[in-house]
Every structure is written in structure tokens, then in C-alpha cells.
Chains A and B, each alone.
Chain A
Amino acid sequence: MKNEGLIYRISGPVVTAIDMKAAMYDVVRVGTEGLMGEVIELHGDKAVIQVYEDTSGIRPGEIVVNTGETLSVSLGPGLLTQIYDGIQRPLPTLEKEMGVFLTRGVDADAFDLEKNWTFEPQVSVGDTVVGGQVVGHVQETDTIVHKIMVVPGMGGVVKSIESGDFNVTQTICTFEDGTDMQMMQKWPVRTPRPYLQKYPPVIPLITGMRILDFLFPLAKGGAAGIPGPFGSGKTVTQQSLAKYSDAQLVVYIGCGERGNEMTEVLDEFPHLIDPNTGKPLMERTVMIANTSNMPVAAREASVYTGITIAEYYRDMGYDVALMADSTSRWAEAMREISSRLEEMPGEEGYPAYLSTRIAEFYERAGRVETLNGEDGSITVIGAVSPPGGDISEPVSQGTLRIVKVFWGLDAGLARQRHFPAINWLNSYSLYPQSLDQWFRDNIAQDFPEIRVELSGLLQIESELQEIVQLVGSDALPADQQLTLEVARMIREYFLQQNGFHEVDAYCDIHLQYKMAKAILAFQESAKSAMASGAQLGDVVNVPSRSHLMRGRLNKGYIDTIDDMVKIMLTEIAATVEGN
């Protein structure tokens, strides 16, 4: 058989070809317009292909050409600040070629192949280098040094090495065995890039969101799932993480969601400053946008495109955070393709391999020793959109089985405009144990104990609330009423955080600690004042407490909070004398 065949059948995004030599995951060109597709099933003499562009108008009998390649991404300097579709075509290039509407049949290089980058060699002639090893540096953006690595599996004794300005396709290094390398390399998206070993996650990804960092921390190299019904805050949370988390690089995948949300990111990010480096956020970001109305097969591919790019920067020794919004749309793309293949469906029509694919995807997260001997990590945060908000469905369940952090968004809280609407009673993180040492060493010795106190108070509150529902809060003894007040302070002052507020959207982890301590200081002083005869109403209503609480909305709070707490404690102590 030859590398060319004919279309036999077309059913939506799935095309069957006959008389063509094909192997699984080969990239093919379909029809006279040469639409890109990928072989996903072999069936006797037929190859089943998922096509990454709209197939209407294509006819049986048109030509199919097998390129013999597997679906790959291009990796090299120029990736950062880009916005791609699901198969790594830059959207700005597509706009230039097609106008504002995405038509089809246009190929586009992933980045500028002509642009010159200044290559600084890190190895010398005669050195032996192996796959994954760094041979030179390129300053890709102000903040990111792009390390040029030997393709895993390649390498040899350096015969010559260049220095100076080159584009990504020019040879910068040759080896004694006659092979050579360029700054750009390709990697098949469905194959995880290799590393030496996985490390246990012991460093937190600091997000600047109090409920996350304090109560349900995520580790660098960990994985988190955010399930929630529509309008509960998945996207706002993911975008906050993309803006403020202390990852060095962010890969943001808009997978089957709204066009306007990607526009928002594109409008906003170039003007936003990374609080961790002081540089524009865009410089550390790669975006993938395959919105809900773009071809589903490319949506299926988009998460692989994203994670492969993330792995590439991990291999340079960076901490990468990857957000996928929403993994449910990815799963639905799998379901749609699977049903066209007439595969035997599993639960709710999803393919039987759904949970395997989900697990394989999250397994590509991790903190690793790279082939170059450095530390790098990928933290994956996946949004899940369960039908009707009910997480007993297959995508939520498949996700929860593998991730160690569950940030459960709650329609009720969103309706009360309590944001972030993360339910503090049913969310969890399995990382505190491995992260506590880091918090003790870097933030405060008693950090873990403070966390336990706060979550304990919230737990007690939920039990007391049940009683209040029956008898009203006035029927409770004064000390329990105080507990309710303290818990309310935790919710309104600490947990609530408006993702759009210019100051409070991001909260420094040291400030978080001070705020938590302030709440406990309030509790303690209120208790002792009341023990000495002060009235609950007086204690709770000291004006300095509301000053303290509102202070978080002002810049420089970290410098003023200690004094504000002092004033509050003095005022509370004074309520005793007033009686």
C-alpha cells in the first residue's frame, strides 16, 4: 500500500480512508483542501481519521495523504506570549490569512521561523551531551531564559557549537556522528517527555488566594480539580491562578469554552504585572484557545498540545502551572468522536477509556529531576463542569480519583455572592502533610496549627448553625455566640476575596498569615474581655474591628495591619471597664 488513499466515508469530524498505508496516530491530509487529521483507528483496510477542521463539502473519493508524522508540537524560542488553537496554529496568523472568521485549510508555523535569537552556548567542542541536556541559552522574554536542549534520545560528542544570532531552523550544534541540532524541535503530543525521576511534592504553589493557600494548599507538581456548576467561578479562579500564582510559567488552555473569555485574557494580561517578578504577565504565558464552537477534534488535541509545551519548559527546570478550562469539554470531545466510531459506550455515553485518559493526563503533572539534572515541575489545575452541578458523573469522578486537591465550587455560595465560592466544608487537599514543613520554615512555625484552628472553627460553626436554624442565635450561650462571630469573621474577612478587586484579588502569603492571626487574636481577647464581664455586643462592635476588616482593601495593608490589631485589642480590653 502507498501513502495515499481515498476517502470512503465522512461523518462529521470523522473520516474513513481506504487503500492507504497508515499507523495509529499518523498525521494525514484529508481531501483536496488538505485538512489536517490524525489516524485514530485501523479497521481492516480502512483507516479512521479525526479531522481538525470542519468537514462539510468534502466528498468520498477525494484524496487522503499520510504524512507519516505523528501529531506533534513545535518547541523552541517564540512560544511565550503566543495564543494557539488546539493544534498549535497561532490565532494571529490565522487572522491574517483568513480574516476574523476561522475558515479552513490554512497551515501556520507555530512561531516565527525567521526571527533571530541570540544563542549563548553552554557546552564546548569535545563535550559529550545526552538527550535533554542544555547546550545553550536564549533570552526569550525579560523573565524567561529559554534553554536549548538536546532532543531526548539524541546527543553525542560536540563537533561544533555556534554562538550569536540564529533563527530556530539554523544549525547551532553538530555532533561527531554527523547529526546536528537546531533551536526548534518537535515532540509528539501524546507521548510524555521523559525525565529522570519524580520527586515528592514538598513546595506549595502559592496562589495569593487565601482559601487555597491556607486551607487547601496545592503543591508545585501537584494536581487539583475544580468542579462546579455554571456560573460558580471556575474560570475566575483559573484566571486568578494564571495571574497570581508563583509559577514561573503558565500554560492556559481554554478548552471548549467561551470566545469572549479568551479575549478578556488577551486584553488584560499584557497590562497586568506579575506580583512575583514585576514583569508583564504575558511574558510568562502561553495560551491555547479552542473555544466551544471550534472543531471538536482539535479540542480533543488541545490539552495534549498544552501539556507538551508545559513539559518542555519543565525540562528547562521551570515551575510551570497549567490550567485547563474545562476538562469536561475535552471529555465530551472524546465522547463525540467515540460515538462516531460506534465504540461500545461506557457510563453516560463516554468511552470506556475515559478514566484512563483523565488519569494519564494528570499523571503528566509532577515535580521531577529533569534529564539535565535540574528541578522542574508541572502543576495541573483542571476545571470540571458537571451536568446540573452533580459530581457523581464520570468526568468529576474520574478526576477526583486521581487529583489530590479538590476545590469544590458551590452554587449556593455563588448565589450569596460569597466569592470565591469554594465550599470550605467539602473541599480538601491531601498535601498539607508534605507541605507543612515548608510553611513552618518559610512562613511561620505555627502555620499548620493556625490552619487547623481556622478550619476547626468553621466546622463548629456549621454544627451551631443547625441549632440556630431551630431556635435562633439569641438562644445560644454567649461563648457560642462569640464562636459564631469569629467564624463569620473568617468567612467575610478571610475566605471572601473578590477576584476583580485591584488590591485584594492577590494576598501575599505573609499577609494571609497575619490576617489569620488577627482573627484568632480577636477571639482570644474577646473571650477574656467577656470573662471579665464585657458584653458580647460591645466586644463585637468595637469600631477598630471593622477598620481592621476593611483595611484589606487598601494598599499597604501588610504594613498597617499589626497596628490595627493592636488598636482593636486595646478597644476590646476597654469594653470591660465600660461595664
Chain B
Amino acid sequence: MTGKEYRTITDVKGPLVFLNKTEPVAFGEIVSLRLSNGTIKNGQVLDTSDDMVIVQVFEGTAKIDREAGVTFMGDVFKLPVSEDLIGRILDGAGKPRDGGPDIVAEQYDDIIGAAINPYSRRSPHDFIQTGISAIDCCTSLVRGQKLPIFSASGLPHNDIALQIARQAKLTGSDEEFIVVFCAMGITAEEYNFFRADLERTGALEKAVLFVNLADDPAVERIITPRLALTAAEYLAFEKDYHVLVIYTDMTNYCDALRQIGAAREEVPGRRGYPGYMYTDLAMLYERAGLVKGKKGSITQFPILTMPGDDITHPIPDLSGYITEGQIVISRELHQQGIYPPINVLPSLSRLMGSCIGEKTTREDHKSVSDQMYAAYAQGRELRGLVAIVGEDALNERDKQLLEFSGVFEDKFLRQSRDENRSIEETLDLCWTLMSRIDTKYLVRLDQKWIDKYHPDNRK
């Protein structure tokens, strides 16, 4: 349904267009704007009343003047979905970008997405092996989890995300993931890197890409992740796929949100970001998980770059309040030449407890993980002390822990970009490394696991 075209624009401000005297326009309705040069832009209604309508224009307001024609499309934003999405590359507004035909829709889904009834969720508990020791051992990932990567500019978060996408699998199962990839304001170079890698491994054929690049309209970034998640929900909950959603970079998304807030002259919250950013982010991150009566699942890997490497910045802060843990990338480790430079200390997987142990990974996993973490934490702390008092002042235990912290980084964290360690290999590696410390200092290990897994007892 296409209605009448109005030429009643009064104001244009930032990404917003204000117009008056229209038909009754629905809140959230999709709008088409026709410029005098024939260009078509799209937008959405943010505020509607008898006197005035405010439209947020996705492609930016450049070249819009009072003469532009505005048509209300009679419906809220919907994405055409079908299994044809798989293998396709779409732009940030959901139009084909790969030169292919339009998606033949099986149905049209509202991109805002309805909230999952908390009563209808199933608890996630299937361990995903990523093949990366730091993650598998210390911050185990669960199918249906939302686990962001907190990174910063210039760090290899993309390599890590891709390695996870390549290697992720359930242990003892050949169920595969399909990847929904969502780019928001990243550079063409970064995008090509992702694309080439997905292509190289054949994953592209089983992926759906939504791409908004740095030179694409900023406001469009508000809808790009919603399109991606709508596709993900369709594939997971209508078609039984296990979907891995990678979206990057959340920081660009939040900046777009800030732009709109500023244009509406809203009272800003911290650092100029809108007061409702928590709710807005939750409407994305909460679109993950498992639901009753459906086989599929959505696991989310949002990537965000922390401005100024500051974890208390509103973007990582509000994200951390919503997601189920975080994987923190460290500049210090990166500068030491360690890949993947994951700092396990501030990293956390809140669902880890539900997915590790005898039935899923191995009986000693929890014990090993606690001990590795504790020994590394203590070793790292000693580095500070040594800088003041010198290594000679350390007692035997502290010397061993200090040495261990180096080995932890060099042998446990460090692995190559295509090295895919099984959870068994990871845990065995832990034992080998921990055996450099006197057993009497390994107080977090259960004696029965020492008897069974310690290299001294295995020979």
C-alpha cells in the first residue's frame, strides 16, 4: 500500500525531518522520501501527532529540501525472509549488495522483534568448543549465550571472531553453525578481510551478511543489526538452524544512536549517549538464546572497541550489564606479541558453570580452570612487587608463580590463528604447565584430579 505524497517538510535537522499536516501516521511507520533529483531515501517515524511528524532518515538528510516528497508506506519496517537469505550479502538496509536478485520472501518479519517471553526460554547448557584455549578453559562459551568481545582500536578482535566462527563446534556432535554477520560502520578493508576469510573457508555459502560500511549512512546503522537479528531469529526459530551472530562494531552503532538523540535535543545521559541506551542495547542483545519447542538457537558475538581502552565507558559498561560475560582483549598482551591477546582476568563467562564438567567437557575442568586463573592472577600481581623489591626477595612459592605467569602467556594463551585445540588438548596442556609449580601450592586442585591427571602420576 502506498499512500499520498506530501510536501509539508518544515525543518530538517541532523538525521531528522519534521513535517506537518499529514494523514494519521503510525508510530514506527516506514517513510519514503523522494528528492527533487529523483533519489529515494527511506526513514521511519519517531514521533507522530495530529500536527507534526518526525522522521528519522536512514541514509542521512543530505540534499533533502522542503520540496522533497514524503510518502508513508502504511506499515512498520519488515524484512523479507526465507532460506534464500543463506549465502547472500545485503546492505545495511537489507537490499542485495551482491548483485543478486531480491530475496523471495516466505514471510515479512517486523525488524524490531518481539521480546522472548522469559517463561518460554530454555536454559543454555551446550558447551561450544572454540579451539582457543583461553576461551574454552577459562570463559567457556555456551550455545545460546551472548558474549561480547571488548576490544580497542588496533587489536586483533576480528581475527579472534573469525577464528571462533571457523572453529566453533559442539563436542561430540556434527551440528554446524551458520553465521549471520553484521557490519556497522567498519572500513572496507576490515569488511574485505571478513569476507575473504569466510569465502576461503567456504563459510560464506552458509552465511548471511548485512553490511553497512564506514562511508555508508550512519543512521542506517540503527537498523542493520535489527535486520541481522530478524534474519537470525527466522533461521533459528522457524528453520531450526544454530546461528552465530557476529556484529561489529557496536561502538559505531552507539554513536549513531547518540547522533539521533542529539538531533532530537534529548537530555543526554553519560558522555552524551541517550539515557535509553541500556534499553536500546538490550533490545539487541536479548535476541539470543533458546526457546521452548524450537530446535535452533542464537549465539551472539558482538564486538565493540572501547574508546580510550576504558572499560567504564558507557558502551562497554552498558553492554556488560546486559550480556552474559565478556572476553577482554588486552593491548599489553598484544604488544608482547601474543595472539590471541585475551586477558582472562577481567574476562568472564557467566554461563560457564552450566556447560562444563564430566558430561560435557571433562570432570577436572572446573578445578583446572580455577587453579589456572588463580595462579596466573597471583603471578601477575607479583610482577608489580618484583619491580619494587626485586626477584630475590620472593619466596619459593612466589618465584614459581611468577615464572608460571610468563609460561601461561607464552604457552597457554599463545596459539596460531589456525590452531584448533580440542578441549582435551587444552586441559592436558594446563596440567603440563601447572606441573611446573610444586603440587603443594596448587591448593585449588582436587587431590583426586591430581592423582589422575598430573603428569607425574600419568606416566
| Contact between chains at A387 and B270 (CB < 8 Å) | yes
A98 to B116, CA, bound (A): 11
B114 to chain A, nearest CB (A): 4
Q: Which residue of A lies closest to B46 (CB)?
A: A11
| Contact between chains at A83 and B119 (CB < 8 Å) | yes
Interface flag for A558 (CB, 8 Å):
no
B366 to chain A, nearest CB (A): 10
Contacts of A10 in B (CB 8 A): 27, 47-49
Task: Give me the interface of A with B, judged by CB distance under 8 Å.
Answer: 8-12, 16, 54-62, 83, 91-92, 94-95, 98-103, 229-231, 254, 256, 258-260, 262-264, 266-267, 289, 291-294, 296, 329, 332, 335-336, 339, 345, 348-349, 385, 387-390, 415-417, 469-470, 472, 474, 500
A385 to B317, CA, bound (A): 10
| Contact between chains at A102 and B317 (CB < 8 Å) | no
Which of A55, A292, A335 is packed against the most chain B CB atoms within 10 Å?
A292
| Contact between chains at B275 and A102 (CB < 8 Å) | no
Contacts of A266 in B (CB 8 A): 118-119
A10 to B29, CA, bound (A): 12
Complex interface bits, B12-34 against A, C-beta within 8 A gives 1, otherwise 0: 00000000000011111100000
The interface residues of chain B, by DSSP majority, are classed as: mixed
Contact status of A389 and B26, CB under 8 A, knowing A263-B122, A339-B266, A339-B267: no
Contacts of B28 in A (CB 8 A): 55-57
Contacts of B326 in A (CB 8 A): 231
Interface flag for B123 (CB, 8 Å):
yes
A348 to B279, CA, bound (A): 16
| Contact between chains at B283 and A231 (CB < 8 Å) | no
A22 to B345, CA, bound (A): 56
| Contact between chains at B27 and A292 (CB < 8 Å) | no
Interface flag for B76 (CB, 8 Å):
yes
| Contact between chains at B289 and A259 (CB < 8 Å) | yes
Q: Which of B116, B269, B276 contacts A101 (CB 8 A)?
A: B116
| Contact between chains at A260 and B121 (CB < 8 Å) | yes
A9 to B26, CA, bound (A): 10
| Contact between chains at A332 and B286 (CB < 8 Å) | no
Contact status of A102 and B115, CB under 8 A, knowing A258-B286, A415-B345: yes
The interface residues of chain A, by DSSP majority, are classed as: mixed
Q: Which of B289, B312, B374 contacts A417 (CB 8 A)?
A: B374
Q: Which residue of A lies closest to B72 (CB)?
A: A59
Interface flag for B431 (CB, 8 Å):
no
Interface flag for B293 (CB, 8 Å):
yes
| Contact between chains at A292 and B116 (CB < 8 Å) | no
Which of A254, A289, A415 is packed against the most chain B CB atoms within 10 Å?
A415
Interface flag for B429 (CB, 8 Å):
no
Q: Which residues of chain B in 98-123 are interfacial with respect to chain A, using CB atoms and an 8 Å cutoff?
A: 110, 112-123
Q: Which residue of A lies closest to B378 (CB)?
A: A416
Interface flag for B370 (CB, 8 Å):
yes
| Contact between chains at B116 and A349 (CB < 8 Å) | no
A353 to B65, CA, bound (A): 42
| Contact between chains at A289 and B112 (CB < 8 Å) | no
| Contact between chains at A103 and B275 (CB < 8 Å) | no
Contacts of B313 in A (CB 8 A): 388
| Contact between chains at A58 and B26 (CB < 8 Å) | yes
In the complex, besides A56-B112, A101-B116, A470-B388, 7 extra interface pairs with C-beta distance below 8 angstroms are A59-B25, A229-B317, A260-B351, A264-B123, A296-B276, A335-B275, A336-B275
Interface flag for B124 (CB, 8 Å):
yes
| Contact between chains at A258 and B345 (CB < 8 Å) | no
| Contact between chains at A336 and B279 (CB < 8 Å) | yes
A43 to B294, CA, bound (A): 48
A417 to B352, CA, bound (A): 14
A296 to B117, CA, bound (A): 15
| Contact between chains at A98 and B48 (CB < 8 Å) | no
Number of CB contacts from chain A to chain B under 8 A: 191
Q: Which of B25, B116, B286 contacts A60 (CB 8 A)?
A: B25
Interface size classification for chain B: 35 or more
A10 to B122, CA, bound (A): 35
Complex interface bits, B264-287 against A, C-beta within 8 A gives 1, otherwise 0: 001111100001101100110011
A100 to B75, CA, bound (A): 23
Contact status of A100 and B348, CB under 8 A, knowing A258-B322, A385-B321: no
Which of B118, B350, B377 is packed against the most chain A CB atoms within 10 Å?
B118
- Jot down 19 A-B pairs with beta carbons below 8 A, ordered by A: A10-B47, A56-B26, A91-B118, A101-B116, A102-B117, A229-B317, A231-B325, A256-B278, A259-B115, A259-B286, A260-B121, A263-B123, A293-B282, A294-B115, A335-B275, A339-B266, A387-B312, A390-B312, A417-B377
A97 to chain B, nearest CB (A): 10
Q: Which of B267, B278, B345 contacts A345 (CB 8 A)?
A: B267
| Contact between chains at A57 and B286 (CB < 8 Å) | no
A500 to B366, CA, bound (A): 13
Q: Which of B118, B267, B348 contacts A291 (CB 8 A)?
A: B118
| Contact between chains at B117 and A95 (CB < 8 Å) | yes
Interface flag for B40 (CB, 8 Å):
no
| Contact between chains at B117 and A57 (CB < 8 Å) | no
Q: Which residues of chain B in 290-341 are interfacial with respect to chain A, using CB atoms and an 8 Å cutoff?
A: 291-294, 312-314, 317-318, 320-322, 324-326
Q: Which residues of chain B in 352-389 are interfacial with respect to chain A, using CB atoms and an 8 Å cutoff?
A: 353, 370, 373-374, 377, 385, 388-389
Contacts of A415 in B (CB 8 A): 345-346, 377
| Contact between chains at B49 and A95 (CB < 8 Å) | no
Task: Give me the interface of B with A, judged by CB distance under 8 Å.
Answer: 24-29, 46-50, 75-76, 110, 112-124, 237, 266-270, 275-276, 278-279, 282-283, 286-287, 289, 291-294, 312-314, 317-318, 320-322, 324-326, 345-346, 348, 350-351, 353, 370, 373-374, 377, 385, 388-389, 393, 395
| Contact between chains at B50 and A260 (CB < 8 Å) | no
| Contact between chains at B119 and A95 (CB < 8 Å) | yes
| Contact between chains at A254 and B48 (CB < 8 Å) | no
| Contact between chains at B25 and A263 (CB < 8 Å) | no
**Would you list the 7 A-B pairs with minimal beta carbon distance, nearest first?**
A56-B28, A9-B49, A292-B282, A388-B312, A91-B119, A100-B120, A101-B114
| Contact between chains at A260 and B47 (CB < 8 Å) | no
Contacts of A102 in B (CB 8 A): 114-117
| Contact between chains at A230 and B321 (CB < 8 Å) | yes
B18 to chain A, nearest CB (A): 13
Contacts of B317 in A (CB 8 A): 229-230, 387-388
A264 to B120, CA, bound (A): 12
A432 to B123, CA, bound (A): 40
Contacts of A336 in B (CB 8 A): 275-276, 279
Contacts of A94 in B (CB 8 A): 117, 119
Q: Which of B26, B115, B370 contacts A59 (CB 8 A)?
A: B26
Contacts of A345 in B (CB 8 A): 267
A579 to B421, CA, bound (A): 52
| Contact between chains at B118 and A389 (CB < 8 Å) | no
A94 to B116, CA, bound (A): 11
Contact status of A58 and B124, CB under 8 A, knowing A10-B49, A415-B345: no
A383 to chain B, nearest CB (A): 11
| Contact between chains at A291 and B275 (CB < 8 Å) | no
Q: Which residue of A lies closest to B52 (CB)?
A: A9
A415 to B347, CA, bound (A): 9
A351 to chain B, nearest CB (A): 10
Contact status of A57 and B345, CB under 8 A, knowing A8-B50, A293-B115, A387-B314: no
B78 to chain A, nearest CB (A): 11
| Contact between chains at A339 and B275 (CB < 8 Å) | yes
A430 to B379, CA, bound (A): 39
Contacts of B275 in A (CB 8 A): 332, 335-336, 339, 349
A416 to B345, CA, bound (A): 8
Contact status of A8 and B324, CB under 8 A, knowing A100-B292, A348-B269: no
| Contact between chains at A16 and B26 (CB < 8 Å) | no
A320 to chain B, nearest CB (A): 22
Contacts of B48 in A (CB 8 A): 9-11, 59-60
Contacts of B370 in A (CB 8 A): 417
A469 to B381, CA, bound (A): 11
Contacts of B314 in A (CB 8 A): 387-388
Contact status of A349 and B269, CB under 8 A, knowing A57-B76, A263-B121, A292-B322: yes
Contacts of A8 in B (CB 8 A): 49-50
